[in-house]
């Protein structure tokens, strides 16, 4: 009997080592090496039917590469269509990550059912056929050519694929798939890497698009080696707060399109619904003016988005004041508070500050700074801000209001949403044709101090 061959793998980055080491030499993480059984066998699982594989690739002239292999498949789901860069590229491998229960399986099931006249194979290693059927009934869509396979063995999956010849393959999830070629357990680094490599080969050689669902770890990374993200063509992230109904689909990497695109969905009783006008729902419609509320004109990718920011400032009851924030970087909040303290003389050091971005959406656009500052000031003074004013500007360390990108789009969106005033940075005025905006007044400021007079005039 031959000796079982084992090797050590970093569970963080996937680096292989012949002996155990405490600190990964590649990614620097501690205590991430786990012993896994590897059986070295050079047999490939996926074989192109019929064709003898030409082993050596030959150089090709750029102009001789035919374009029709790149024809994209239209996706009925407008949001996903856009995030993928305008449809699905044949032979592409797309990895979708997200927290448990966020709706990954639902989104891809809906996609599969919407693709009429396409043969779709949905491989589930997590749920039974009945569970998937129940979900399909729930989302109330029908595709006559939708096949479900509950299988985790990669060999069997490929066997079924060669029988069925699907137009689209969905794997839910990559962590449950295992290949008998490798003896370590499903979900381990070497299994994930091998399975993905095989699926990648299948996708490229058969020109079938493949979706992989991937679990994420507690710090938000896709579980498994980092190289997984390098192997695939597109990495999508499905995020949101499970307690809210809104979900955001982002492209983190996309070989076939921009990563600036973003899709917004609402989780309803009957599945995920595309949200085509997000600004309308992210601003609470209310009668009275409340203190601590300011509207930010942000951009999510290339889409303008008006978002409500809410702040609550109160005297700290206990020794250390609390700072808490949802949807906004806590360190950035601390920085903004320090700017208010230092440049404007607001004594916020002994106050609790809570910040909340409506809809459970995470905002990374720095243009939200100005609205955050205004919400904090409004709560601190307990004076409400006119709900017809929107804000868009980054705040610098010396209290200056810095310009932001795509200011025209932001102003137009605010105008469209019925705002009568928008506060922006003075430095954004250069080249801006104010006369374009008929029903909205553009107010330019250069320092945080100037904002007060506008707010509490
Ligand atoms: P699911 O797609 O199973 O999430 P994931 O695959 O990312 O783990 O979605 C799970 C949640 O979505 C579940 O908590 C119930 C909710 N849901 C709805 O609210 N409405 C629906 O129509 C469906 C199908 C699910
Ligand atoms: Mg799932």
Residue 46 CA to ligand 2 center (angstroms) comes to 25
User: Judging by DSSP bridges, how do beta strands 6-10 and 16-17 pair with one another?
Assistant: antiparallel
**CA torsion 371→375→378→383, rounded to 10°?**
90
Establish if 46 belongs to a structural domain. Answer: no
Q: Which residue from 110, 267, 272, 273 has its CB within 8 A of the most atoms of ligand 1, so it is best to mutate? A: 267
Q: How many CB atoms lie within 10 A of CB 268?
A: 10
Establish if 367 belongs to a structural domain. Answer: yes
From the CA of 101, which ligand is nearest? 1
Whether the predicted pLDDT of 1 surpasses 50? no
Q: Can you list the alpha helix ranges (DSSP code H) found in 246-399?
A: 278-282, 330-344, 369-381
| Shared-domain flag, residues 267 and 360 | no
Residue 175 CA to ligand 2 center (angstroms) comes to 11
Report the nearest-CA residue for atom 15 of ligand 1: 101
- Residue 18: domain span: 6-37
Task: Note the pLDDT tens digit of each residue in 355-368.
Answer: 999 877 888 899 99
| Shared-domain flag, residues 307 and 432 | yes
| Shared-domain flag, residues 357 and 385 | yes
Domain CATH for 368: 3.30.230.10
Q: Domain boundary residue among 221, 253, 276?
A: 276
Handedness of CA 111, 117, 122, 128 (dihedral sign): positive
Strand partners, 215: 98
- CA 284 from centre of chain: 24
- CA 239 from centre of chain: 5
Report the nearest-CA residue for atom 12 of ligand 1: 103
Establish if 442 belongs to a structural domain. Answer: yes
Q: Domain boundary residue among 254, 276, 298?
A: 276
- CA 383 from centre of chain: 36
- Is the pTM value of this prediction over 0.85? no
Looking up tokens 């699982």 gives: 45
Residue 278: which of 294, 264, 299 has the closest Cα?
A: 264
Under DSSP, is residue 410 helix (H, G, I), strand (E, B) or coil? helix
Establish if 247 belongs to a structural domain. Answer: yes
Establish if 47 belongs to a structural domain. Answer: no
Report helix angle 189-206 to 154-164, nearest 10: 10
Domain CATH for 177: 3.40.50.300
| Shared-domain flag, residues 320 and 438 | yes
Please state the rounded mean pLDDT for residues 14-40.
83
Establish if 193 belongs to a structural domain. Answer: yes
Label residue 223 by pLDDT band (50, 70, 90).
Answer: low
Which tokens in the block code for residue 213?
């669902």
| Shared-domain flag, residues 253 and 350 | no
Residue 359 CA to ligand 1 center (angstroms) comes to 18
Residue 454: which of 396, 362, 395, 371 has the closest Cα?
A: 371
| Shared-domain flag, residues 320 and 334 | yes
Report the nearest-CA residue for atom 14 of ligand 1: 101
| Shared-domain flag, residues 295 and 376 | yes
- Count Cα atoms within 13 angstroms, Cβ side, for 49: 10
Task: Note the pLDDT tens digit of each residue in 269-303.
Answer: 999 999 888 777 777 766 778 899 999 999 887 78
Establish if 83 belongs to a structural domain. Answer: yes
Task: Note the pLDDT tens digit of each residue in 122-158.
Answer: 999 999 999 999 999 999 898 999 999 999 999 999 9
| Shared-domain flag, residues 119 and 136 | yes
| Shared-domain flag, residues 119 and 25 | no
Is pLDDT larger for residue 346 or for residue 119? 119
Establish if 351 belongs to a structural domain. Answer: yes
From the CA of 97, which ligand is nearest? 1
**CA torsion 413→416→420→422, rounded to 10°?**
10
| Shared-domain flag, residues 140 and 260 | yes
Under DSSP, is residue 217 helix (H, G, I), strand (E, B) or coil? coil
Atom index in ligand 1 nearest the CA of residue 269 equals: 20
Q: Which residue from 101, 175, 176, 247 has its CB within 8 A of the most atoms of ligand 1, so it is best to mutate? A: 101
Contact predicate 176/151, CB 8 Å: no
Report the nearest-CA residue for atom 2 of ligand 1: 103
Rounded CA-CA distance 96/228 in Å is 11
| Shared-domain flag, residues 248 and 314 | no
From the CA of 267, which ligand is nearest? 1
Atom index in ligand 1 nearest the CA of residue 138 equals: 22
Q: Domain boundary residue among 276, 304, 328?
A: 276
Ligand 1 neighbours by CB, cut-off 6 Å:
98, 100-106, 135, 138-139, 267, 269-271
Q: How many CB atoms lie within 10 A of CB 94?
A: 24
| Shared-domain flag, residues 89 and 129 | yes
The count of structural domains within the chain is 3
Rounded CA-CA distance 365/332 in Å is 12
Is pLDDT larger for residue 392 or for residue 68? 392
Rounded CA-CA distance 333/184 in Å is 45
Task: Note the pLDDT tens digit of each residue in 308-348.
Answer: 999 999 988 877 889 999 989 999 999 999 999 988 888 88
Residue 338 CA to ligand 2 center (angstroms) comes to 43
């Amino acid at each position: 009997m031959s000796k079982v061959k084992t090797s050590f793998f970093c569970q963080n980055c996937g680096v292989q080592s012949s002996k155990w080491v405490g600190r990964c030499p590649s990614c620097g993480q501690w205590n991430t090496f786990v012993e896994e059984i590897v059986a070295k066998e050079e047999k490939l699982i996926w074989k192109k039917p019929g064709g003898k594989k030409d082993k050596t690739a030959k150089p090709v002239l750029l102009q001789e590469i035919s374009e029709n292999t790149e024809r994209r498949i239209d996706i009925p789901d407008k949001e996903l269509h856009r995030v993928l860069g305008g449809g699905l590229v044949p032979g592409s491998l797309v990895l979708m990550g997200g927290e448990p229960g966020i709706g990954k399986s639902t989104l891809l099931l809906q996609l599969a059912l919407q693709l009429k006249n396409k043969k779709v194979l949905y491989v589930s290693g997590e749920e039974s056929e009945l569970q998937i059927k129940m979900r399909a009934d729930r989302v109330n869509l029908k595709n006559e050519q939708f096949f479900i396979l509950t299988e985790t063995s990669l060999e069997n999956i490929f066997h079924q694929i060669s029988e069925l010849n699907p137009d689209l393959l969905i794997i839910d999830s990559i962590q449950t798939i295992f290949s008998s070629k490798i003896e370590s357990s499903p979900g381990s680094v070497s299994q994930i890497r091998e399975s993905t490599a095989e699926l990648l080969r299948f996708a490229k050689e058969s020109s079938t698009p493949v979706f992989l669902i991937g679990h994420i770890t507690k710090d938000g990374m896709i579980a498994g080696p980092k190289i997984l993200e390098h192997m695939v063509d597109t990495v999508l992230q499905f995020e949101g707060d499970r307690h809210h109904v809104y979900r955001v689909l982002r492209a983190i990497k996309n070989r076939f399109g921009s990563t600036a695109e973003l899709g917004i969905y609402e989780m309803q009783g009957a599945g995920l619904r595309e949200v085509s006008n997000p600004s309308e729902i992210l601003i609470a419609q209310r009668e009275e003016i409340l203190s601590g509320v300011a509207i930010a004109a942000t951009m999510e990718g290339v889409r303008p988005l008006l978002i409500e920011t809410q702040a609550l400032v109160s005297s700290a009851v206990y020794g250390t004041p609390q700072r808490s924030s949802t949807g906004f970087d806590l360190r950035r909040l601390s920085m903004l508070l320090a700017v208010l303290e230092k440049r404007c003389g607001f004594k916020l050091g002994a106050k609790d500050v809570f910040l909340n971005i409506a809809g459970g959406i995470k905002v990374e656009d720095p243009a939200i700074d100005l609205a955050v500052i205004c919400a904090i000031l409004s709560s601190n003074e307990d004076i409400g801000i006119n709900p017809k004013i929107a804000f868009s500007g980054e705040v610098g360390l010396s209290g200056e209001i810095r310009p932001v990108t795509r200011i025209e789009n932001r102003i137009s969106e605010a105008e469209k949403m019925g705002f009568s005033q928008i506060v922006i940075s003075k430095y954004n005025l250069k080249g801006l044709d104010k006369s374009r905006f008929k029903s909205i007044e553009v107010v330019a400021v250069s320092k945080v101090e100037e904002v007060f007079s506008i707010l509490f005039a």
